[in-house]
Chains A and B, each alone.
Chain A
Amino acid sequence: AQKITQTQPGMFVQEKEAVTLDCTYDTSDQSYGLFWYKQPSSGEMIFLIYQGSYDEQNATEGRYSLNFQKARKSANLVISASQLGDSAMYFCAMRMADSWGKLQFGAGTQVVVTP
């Protein structure tokens, strides 16, 4: 069975600093996709960034980048220049090629950005 692990239940980060959120995954399949979502206190799920297992370059979307280390089965999210609005719960998720519609989620990391 596939599994997503986020080992950091919560963290504080100072405004303007960079923060790295850890995510490791476990699968024996070769084809999969990795996602990061942000969930602010209002509750909605906001898509941040995607990395395909065959993508050779690390994905970037504005201030978000995904540090993909395939051999280590690691897909860490890096948020550069943190802003107060980045305070939220962050979820790592994986989607498999044979069940492309289903996402397997980690437990999440609560990030609090302080002034």
Chain B
Amino acid sequence: EAQVTQNPRYLITVTGKKLTVTCSQNMNHEYMSWYRQDPGLGLRQIYYSMNVEVTDKGDVPEGYKVSRKEKRNFPLILESPSPNQTSLYFCASSTLIMGVKTQYFGPGTRLLVL
């Protein structure tokens, strides 16, 4: 079954304690990205990756890091989380072939930073 998995699904942490949210896809997609969702703002892209070892900033990259060492994995790293990073996070993957119509989203990770 084609899917994007994220772990953990729920996380409560404290300010400054480094954390990693993992993301993995089994569809051999080139493109992967992270979004955060906040009320009234929809989803905003944090970082994206066009392929292995190729990453770039999205619209709201401050306070986040990513890496893409393997095609299937795209972890999101918060080196020093702050309360304003409390949000719902989605990983997504997509092929770059024109005409393919959907992005696949992971189930989401709810993060609370105290």
Interface residues of chain A, those whose CB is within 8 Å of chain B, are 4, 9, 33, 35, 37, 43-45, 47, 50, 52, 91, 93, 95, 97, 100-103, 105-108
Contact: B102 with A100, CB < 8 Å? no
- Candidates B30, B42, B103; contact of A107 at CB < 8 Å: B42
CB distance from B50 to the nearest CB of A (A): 7
Contact B44 A105 (CB under 8 A): yes
Question: Of B44, B90, B101, which one neighbours A45 at CB under 8 angstroms?
Answer: B90
Q: Is the interface of B mostly helix, strand, loop or mixed?
A: strand
A102 to B56, CA, bound (A): 12
B interface list, Cβ under 8 A from A: 30-33, 35, 40-45, 48, 50, 58, 88, 90, 92, 94, 96, 98, 101-103, 105, 107-108, 110
Cα distance A69–B31 in the bound complex, in angstroms:
29
* Residues in B whose Cβ lies below 8 Å from that of A37: 105
Interface SS of chain A: helix, strand, loop or mixed?
strand
Contacts of A95 in B (CB 8 A): 103
- The smallest beta-carbon distance between A101 and chain B, in angstroms, is 3
What residues on B are CB-neighbors of A103 within 8 Å? Answer: 35, 43, 45, 92, 103
Which residues of chain B are near A47, meaning CB under 8 Å?
Answer: 102-103
Which residues from chain B contact A106 at a C-beta distance below 8 Å?
A: 42
Which residues of B lie under 8 Å from residue A101 when comparing CB positions? 30-33, 48, 50, 94, 96, 103
Return 20 A-B CB contacts under 8 Å, by A number.
A4-B42, A43-B108, A43-B110, A45-B105, A47-B102, A50-B101, A91-B42, A93-B43, A100-B94, A100-B96, A101-B30, A101-B31, A101-B32, A101-B33, A102-B45, A102-B58, A103-B45, A105-B35, A107-B40, A107-B41
Q: In the docked arrangement, what's the CA distance between A93 and B37, Å? A: 13
